[in-house]
Amino acid sequence: MSSHSPSIEIAKGYKVNYDFKYRLSRRGFLAATAGLAVSASLCPAVASGVDERSIRIAPGQARLTGQDGLSTAVWTYNGAVPGPALRLRQGQPVRIAVENGLHEDTTVHWHGIRLPNAMDGVPGLTQPPIRPGESFVYEFTPPDAGTFWYHPHADSLVQLGRGLAGPLIVEEAESVAFDRDLLWLLQDWRLAKDGQIAGGFGSAMDASMSGRVGNLVTINGIVPADLDVRAGERVRLRLVNAALARMMALRFEGHRPVVIAIDGQPCEPHEPENGRLVLAPAMRIDIALEMQGDPGSRHDVIDDFYNGLAYRLTTLAYSKAVPIRLHPLDAPLALPRNPLPKPDLANAVRQEVLLQGGMMGGGKLAGVGGMMGMGMPGMNGTPAWAINGMSMTGDGHAGMAPQFTLERGSTCRLTMRNETAWWHPMHVHGFSLSVLSRNGAPVPHRQWQDTVLLAPKDTIECAFVADNPGDWMLHCHVADHQMAGLMTVFRVT
C-alpha cells in the first residue's frame, strides 16, 4: 500500500481509504469514549419471572465516524448500530419479541447460547424465516454466563454487512471483582466514497479469498476516540468481533492483558502468546486489564493481524488522577465455570470435517467436490468451498441433509482439517467445544469455544457432549465463505 491509495474525507480532518487494504487516520475525532460501560444497573440478586424484551429490526442511519461525520444508511436493531446490549441473567428465562421492519426475510441467531433448537434462528432449518412485517418470539433460558452476541441468519452477508449485530451479556449469578465492566463490539465496514456502504456483496473474489474485509473499523458503532482510564483500576473488557471477515490481533502497548474467558466460557486465566489477542469473526475474548500505567500516560491499542497493515485501534488515556489503589487487587481473576457437560473421551464417537476449496497459489481454485467445470466457483452464488466434498450455500433452508448424526448424550470427538490456503473461524451452533489439540499439540488453559479459528492447513481436535437434540449448523463465520459453501449440518437425535 502506498500513500496514493484513494482516500476520502468523510468528516472534518478524517480520511478513509476506500481501497480495502486501508489505513486509518483518526485525527479530528475527539467525541465519544471508546468503551461502553455495561455494569450500570444494580440488579436484584435473585432472578425471578420471565425477562421480557423486544427488538425491532429496521433501516436507519448511523454516524460511524462521529457526530460531525457523514450519515450512513444502515440496518438496525431498535434503531441503533450495534443493537442494544442485552444483559440477561444466568438461569433466568427470557422472552424476546422480534419484529421485522425490513423489506426482506430475517431471523435472529443468539450466537453461542446453548438453547433449544427451535430458538436457534436458522431459517428453514429451525424456524420459518420472519417475513417483512411479521414477528417471532424467542424464548430460552441462558445456561451459561458470559459474552455472546446476536445477529441475523438470513441473507447473512448483506444483513451483517449493513450493521445488524448486537452484544448479549449473560451475567454471572455471583458478582466478580472488577472496577469496571466494558464492552467493545468491533465491526468492520466497507464504505464507498460517499460514506455509504459499498455494494458488491458476494463478489467472486471476496467469496473465494479472504471475504469482504472492510475499510473502517468501529467500536460500539463509532470510530473510537481514546478510552479514558484511571491508574490502578482493574477492568474487565469484553471483546466481540462482529466483522464479516476481518481477523484481528490486538496488542495493548505497555499492558499485559489476561484472558479470562473465550467465547463466553471461562478458561484458566493466562496471558496470550506474545501479548496478542487473536480475535477472528464471531469470536469473543474477555480480558482482565490491570491499569498499571502512570497517571497522564497514553498507550496505543494496535491491531496487527495482517502483515504490513497494522493500525492503531484506540489509545488508553490515563487521567492525571492518583491511582485508585497502589497495588493491583488480590482477588483472583478466574471466573466461575459454566455447567458444561464433560466429554467422555474414552467412549467418544469420532467425526471428521474437511474444509476444502478457495483460491490456491497461482490464482487457481481448488477443486470443490464435484463442482469443478461448472464455471467460476464463487460466482453468482456457485460454491467456492466445501465440507467433506459437499457445498451447502446460503444461510440454511429446509431439507438440508445432515452430514452426520449423533446419539443424544454421546460424546463426539470432532477433528477439523483445513485443507485450504485460508483462515476459517469454524462455528458450531448449540454447543461449546472443548478444544483438545491444534496440529497435534495439546491446547492449554482448559478452553471451550463455539468458534475455533483454523489457520491454513491447521488441524483441530475438539470434543463435546451431544446433549441437545436437533439439526445444528457448523460453518465458517467469514460470511462470504459460509454463503459460498463452507457450511454443514449435523443432527442430534
- Positions touching ligand C2O (CB under 6 A) are 109, 111, 151, 153, 282, 427, 429, 473, 475, 477
Round to whole Å and give the CA distance between 208 and 21: 17
The answer to whether residue 280 forms part of the interface with Cu ion (CB under 5 A) is no
Q: Of residues 396-425, which lie at the interface with Cu ion (CB under 5 A)?
A: 424
Backbone angles phi, psi at 362, to 5 degrees: 75, 15
Specify the residue, 156 or 314, whose C-beta has the smaller distance to ligand C2O.
Answer: 156
Q: Of residues 90-129, which lie at the interface with Cu ion (CB under 5 A)?
A: 111
Number of residues that bind Cu ion (CB under 5 A): 6
Using DSSP's 3-state secondary structure scheme, residue 275 falls into helix
**Dihedral sign, Cα of residue 402, residue 404, residue 406, residue 412:** negative
- The rounded radius of gyration (Å) of the Cα atoms in the chain is 22
Cβ contact 236:448 at 8 Å: no
Q: Compute, in degrees rounded to 10, the torsion defined by CA atoms 484, 309, 81, 429.
A: 40
Kindly report the three-state secondary structure assignment for every residue of 210-249: CCCCCCEEEECCECCCCEEECCCCEEEEEEEECCCCCCEE
CB of residue 475 vs ligand C2O: minimum separation in angstroms? 6
236 binds, among Cu ion, ligand C2O, none (CB under 5 to 8 A by kind): none
CB of residue 110 vs ligand C2O: minimum separation in angstroms? 9
Cell matching residue 111: 450466537
Cell matching residue 23: 489505513
Specify the residue, 151 or 230, whose C-beta has the smaller distance to ligand C2O.
Answer: 151
478 binds, among ligand C2O, Cu ion, none (CB under 5 to 8 A by kind): Cu ion
Residue indicated by cell numbers 474487565: 236
The neighbouring-strand residues paired with 38 are none
Cell matching residue 220: 460500539
The answer to whether residue 478 forms part of the interface with Cu ion (CB under 5 A) is yes
479 binds, among ligand C2O, Cu ion, none (CB under 5 to 8 A by kind): none
Cell matching residue 9: 474525507
Specify the residue, 236 or 427, whose C-beta has the smaller distance to ligand C2O.
Answer: 427
Specify the residue, 36 or 487, whose C-beta has the smaller distance to ligand C2O.
Answer: 487
424 binds, among ligand C2O, Cu ion, none (CB under 5 to 8 A by kind): Cu ion
Report which residue's Cβ sits closest to ligand C2O: 111
CB of residue 429 vs Cu ion: minimum separation in angstroms? 5
Q: Give the other-Cβ count within 10 Å of 30's Cβ.
A: 11
Specify the residue, 69 or 383, whose C-beta has the smaller distance to ligand C2O.
Answer: 383
CB of residue 157 vs ligand C2O: minimum separation in angstroms? 12
CB of residue 109 vs Cu ion: minimum separation in angstroms? 5
Cβ contact 397:124 at 8 Å: yes
CB of residue 389 vs ligand C2O: minimum separation in angstroms? 21
Question: Where along the sequence are the contacts to Cu ion (CB under 5 A)?
Answer: 111, 424, 429, 476, 478, 481
